Amino acid sequence: MGISKSTLFGLLRHGQTVWNRQRRVQGRLDSPLTADGIEAVREWARFLSGPRWRWTRIITSPAPRARTTATLINEALRVEIREEQDLREQDWGIWEGLSWTEIQTGSGDELRAQVEKGWSFRPPEGESRIEVCRRAQALLSSIGREYQGEQILVITHQGVIKSLIYALEKRDFLPGEPKLIDKDRLQTISCCNDTMTGFAYNIQPSPTP
């Protein structure tokens, strides 16, 4: 039996969307990338196709905003793209499509109560953070076994990325914890024999010469 090799996953959030700019909850819904979002993705494509990396494939959420991001980056990488349902964003239930102001105005007490639950945070009729984490962990473990030793770029959502990293770093997902990751940065983790380890966080694209 051969020695298992670590698989490196690069976790990247999709580009900025119209609803991101409007501070509106997307969850399982969607909105198109903004012009700024597209330009930022093209900057990532230049960086990720550089000599520092050797990506072998892209795994993406099926959400159009993630698929568009993956397609734009792949203009530079030219590797296989595979969609995975378990990379979709947290289901925000009845709060999807609403702005944060609308949620705070109409459901402020419920929002505050849920935030204090940490990993058990669950929007009404939605999905908890721990459920998001478990499906994402199971998927990456499976892919890590399938593609041992590869570097795999994962295009997904901030809720998925935070859940994975916070679990690795044993965070409680509660208000007041120090900030750990930035939403517009690359986070990398390694996986070997179903064990995940944080590798490097908050990697920024190098400026174009």
pLDDT at 2 over 80: no
Catalytic residue annotation? 14, 89
Q: What is the mean pLDDT of residues 19-33?
A: 98
Nearest to 139 by CA among 181, 184, 183, 189: 189
**What is the per-residue pLDDT across 98-135, written as a single tens digit (0 to 9) for each?**
999 999 999 999 999 999 999 999 999 999 999 999 99
Q: Are 165 and 180 in contact (CB under 8 A)?
A: yes
pTM above 0.85, yes or no: yes
**What is the per-residue pLDDT across 52-88, written as a single tens digit (0 to 9) for each?**
999 999 999 999 999 999 999 999 999 999 999 999 9
Say how far apart CA 82 and CA 64 lie, in whole Å.
13
